[in-house]
Amino acid sequence: MYTFLPDAVRQGLEEARKAALKRKDRLSVHDGDDTYPIRRFWDGGFALELDGTDRLRGHVDIYDGPKHLYTCLVVSSVDEDFERVFEFKWATPVATKPAADFVRPDFVPAGLIEQ
C-alpha cells in the first residue's frame, strides 16, 4: 500500500502507528511472569506485536491496567504483517463477587425500616 512512498516517510508512518497503538491500549497478556501489551482484542482472540513476543499456548490472563478481566485458553497463533495473532478456545470473565448458591432477587432494598 505504501510502496510508492520513500523509505523515510514509510518508516515515520510505521513509528506513528505504533506510538498511537501504545497510547490508547492498556490491555496486556500475562503468561506466568511474562507480560505483553495487546495491540488488538476481539471476541475470538487478540494480537500482539511481532517483535519481542513469544508464541503463547495454554492458560493466560488478560488485564486492563491492574484490573484482571479474563482467564483464557490460547490454542493457536499466526504471524500476519507486523503482529502475531492469537486465537483462544475460551475466555472466562473474572468474577468480582463470590458465587452465590441461591437466586438473588432483582430488587434488593438498600435498608430496612424498623417500627
**pTM for this one?**
0.65
Q: Are the C-beta atoms of 62 and 35 separated by less than 8 Å?
A: no
Helix, strand counts (H, E) of the chain = 1, 6
Average pLDDT over residues 26-34: 88
Average pLDDT over residues 85-91: 91
Query: How many whole angstroms separate alpha carbon 44 and alpha carbon 56?
Result: 15
Query: How many whole angstroms separate alpha carbon 77 and alpha carbon 88?
Result: 9
Q: How many CB atoms lie within 10 A of CB 92?
A: 9
How sure is the predictor about 24, in pLDDT bands with cuts at 50, 70 and 90? low
- C-alpha neighbours within 13 Å on the C-beta side of residue 18: 12
User: What pLDDT sits at residue 109?
Assistant: 82
User: What pLDDT sits at residue 3?
Assistant: 64
Domains of the chain: 26-93 (2.40.10.430)
pLDDT over 70 (residue 102): yes
User: What pLDDT sits at residue 56?
Assistant: 83
